[in-house]
Each structure stands twice: as C-alpha cells, then as structure tokens.
Amino acid sequence: MIKNSQILKAGVVLAFGLATSAFAVDACKDQMANPRGSAHNVNGNQTGSISGTKWGFEQWSQGGSNSMKYYDNGTFEASWTNNTDFLARVGFRYGDNGPGKSVSGMQYTADYKYTKTGSAQYGYIGIYGWTVNPQVEYYIVDDWYSKPSSNYIGPKQGELTVDGATYTIHTYVRDQEPSKTGTSTFLQIFSVRPTARQCGHIDVQAHFNKWNELFTGQTASLPGSKGGNKSIQLKFGNVTEVMLMTEAGGGATGSVDYSYFDMSENGQPSEPPKEIERKPFGGTAASIPGTVEAENFDEGNYGVTYSGVQGASGDDGDHDYRGEDYASVDIVGGGTGKAIGYTAADEWLEYTINVTKDGEYDIAANVSNGTSAGKLELSLDGKALASLSFTGVEGDWDTYELATGKATLTAGEHVLRITIANDNTNVDYVKFSLEGAGEDDPPLAINADLRLGNTAKTLQVFDMQGKFVGLVHVAAGTSVNDAVKARFQSAGVYMVKQGSKMHRIAVK
C-alpha cells in the first residue's frame, strides 16, 4: 500500500452545489462542469474581478517572493517562498469601503478541492472575509499548515456540527493591528474543523447563522494580540467579502492548486446528519482479556464514536464492511485481516469493552506506518490509559509491528478510545492480556537456523518475555538467526513474527 503524508481520504458527506443544479455535487470526486479556461497571472498585492463570473480575486503578501494565477472558472493556484505572511483567495467581493452585504436571507456555500505543499509556522485554509458595522475578520478553517492554537484564536465560544464535523468557535482581539481600515482594534471569529480535509462542501451560511446566534452585540473581555484582555463588542456585521483562501506565514514556503471551485450566494444548505444509535459493533461489547479489532469501532455518529478525515485521494479503503455511514474511516486489508488505514494525526475511534477481571494488563497494538515512527494514545472512560510507541518501516505498510504498554483495568463495562498520533498509521488490533496469565499454545521449537525462502522480509523480534525489541530485515535466502545476531549483537533465544506466525530462534 503506497501513500505519503499528503494523501488523505475522499470526502463522504454530500457536497451540495448551486441551487439551480439538478444534482448534488461532490467536489472530492466530481470534475468541474466548466474547463479551467485561460490563465491570468496576478502581479504583486492586487485585487480584481474574474471576467464573466460573479467572483473576484486577491493576492497579498509580506516579505519573500510569491505568485498567483487564476483561471476563467475560478480555480486558482499560488506559490510562495520565505513569506512572513501570504494570502491568495477567490470568491465574492462587495467592496472594502462600502456598506457591506447583510447575510440575512442569504445561503452562501462553497465547494472545493485542492492539493498543497510546503510548511509554515501558521496557515489557515478555508473561508475568509471581513465585515463592517462592526469590523470583524473571520475564518472558517478546514485545513492548516499548523493546527490553530487557542493562544492565537482565543477561547472557545461554542460549537457547530455541519458538513460531517463539529467545528469549535473561537474569538480573539487584534489590538492596533493592520486591517481593512488601516491600523485598528477589531474582533476575529474562527470556526475550526477538528480534523483537516482538502476537499468538500462548506455550508458557509450555517457558520454565519451560528455566529449571529452566539454574538448579539454584548461586550466581552477577550485576549488581545498585544497581551492582556481587551473589551470589545461581540457582533457579526455585513460582509465585504466571502472568499476561499489559503494563508501561510512565519517563513512560509509552499504552493497550493485548487482544481475544483464553486461558490454561491444561494446554494443548498447541508443536510443534518441522521441520528445513529450508539451501540457496540455487532451488538456485543469486546471481552477483555481479549482483542479489540480496530475496524469494529462502535456504531454511532461522526464525532460521537469516531472521527475520520475527508481529503483528496479518492475511493480508498473497504466501505462495504461498515457501510457509507462510516466511509470517512478507511478499512484496508492488512495485519491479521482488516485494519484501519489512510489515517491522519488526531483521528480517533471508540469501543465499548467488557473487562471481566480486575488486574494489571499487558497491552499490544498491531500497527504499521511507512512514513515515520508513531504512537497510539489509549484512554478509558475519558481518562488517559496508556501510550504505545512504535518505529515504523520506511515505505512499508505491509510490515506490522507490536506497540506495547501496561495498564490497570477494573471489571465492568467501559469505553476505550484509541487516538492515532501520527499521519498514515495503520491499526490492526489492540490486545489486552492479564499479566502473568499463561499461554494455551504449546511451546515453539527452537530453530538453530531459520530460513524463510527466497523473498526478503522484515520481521518483528521479541524477547522471551514477549517484549518487542525491534525489527530485523532479512535478505532473501539468508539466515534469520544471523540477521538477528547482526542486528542486536546479543546471544540468546528470541521470538520472531512473520505475518501471523511466530518462530523461536537461538542466537549464539
């Protein structure tokens, strides 16, 4: 299975297009109805209109070098090098100095798909704009270069569940900072998606409506950009722009290419998710001591029993096993059968388990990652339980290894959460064994010279207490015993795992 840190999954929530369209669109899978048309280069800090459309464009930068190019159908691309701050955006512009446009009675939507490269100390990707009466800078953040921190977006003010995710809403004060009217003090409002995506549908109006519900003009004391709290009016005004934007800053270098773009002032609102009753997969809680299969997470709604990633890679994974209600979690072949794959950092899944005995437990998770070392964070009933680390094998998702740990469990029914700390980690299972419990299987014979045929292999190696000690690469036709000796430089008896088979070898 080949993938990289920028490969994410296809969106599964229907993306509704213009109200005049006969069919709903899915920007993650559909092609643009209109060809891109001619390319138009943007020179320096510039705004303007896209001829023949209702949209405008803007490029703005501070420091470094950059370029932006937009096309006749509104798609655009940009690149930047060593920028302090860079913004490229396309969408509705109503004039920076005018009265703005009331969002009451409107239905703003956006459908998009893009790829990105590079790195930045910060970067917001999604919907962006300003209001007047009062002046507010706002963001709907669907993706980022570094996940937004509350130090820079302020405290949480509420939540909005829409488009397959529960966004958190934050407010912050920019204190005598650059704005549309020069240097001024103004409010920022953020809606931040919990896990990033690179394509999909945004019901922009749902965010506007929620902000208007939360912020009715009361005065609040909020963190300011120059330190201390500032008293400011909480209110969302008339919009002067509603634009799809990429922003990157802090010595940022990178690029973005939007291959799908559509925005409407009268689009279709997103359908609310159907309510799915929470219950264990198959109707029975996983019994502990025992094995929790990663693909058998609890039934329930997105954000309740699982989170997933909506992105741009296509139809990856087996969606038939769990059905389209759970299609943002990709199930792949791997490990001992099925595994969770095409994951992103902070993705999580929950499982109802039934612990039959109090005691100390050994934990072993069967995992793989072809891009980096990784970690699983386990919690039980909302409290941290164990952290399981592993090494990964560069470019190889088919070689699984055991990440191990220990924890104390009490008898009874509990909710186990598995959180994936690193992009592109495949999870096969997590096994809980009561410490000191004997194995039912007969002891393995000790191999003095184990050879595994004419295919090179990467094997997991354990000591005789079952502790994972590392991976060993065995060349085709060579001795596993010799490879283990060369790798670990220590004589003794080891266990090596090949697929689901265990072998015991002697190293002299």
Q: Which residues are catalytic?
A: 137, 247
**Residue from 450, 476, 451, 472 nearest 460 by CA:** 472
Residue 232 C-beta-side C-alpha neighbours within 13 Å: 25
Q: How far apart are CA 123 and CA 390, in angstroms?
A: 29
> Nearest 5 degrees, angle CA 67-CA 73-CA 77?
20
Residue 138 φ/ψ, nearest 5 degrees: -130, 155
Q: How far apart are CA 161 and CA 302, in angstroms?
A: 10
Q: Assess whether the previous peptide bond of 148 is cis (omega < 30° from 0).
A: no
If 0-12 CB within 10 Å is exposed, 13-18 middle and 19+ buried, where does residue 134 land? middle
For residue 434, how many other CB atoms are within 10 A of its CB?
16
- Could you give the C-alpha distances from 416 to 346, 353, 436, in angstroms and in order? 15, 7, 23
DSSP letters spanning 174-213: EEEEEETTEEEEEEEEEEE-SS--SEEEE-HHHHHHHHHH
If 0-12 CB within 10 Å is exposed, 13-18 middle and 19+ buried, where does residue 457 land? middle
Tokens 């204190």 belong to: 175
Strands 182-192 and 136-146: parallel
For residue 342, which amino acid is it? Y
> Nearest 5 degrees, angle CA 169-CA 174-CA 55?
70
3-state secondary structure 308-338: CCCECCCCCCCCCCCCHHHCCCEEEEECCEE
Tokens 């302090």 belong to: 84
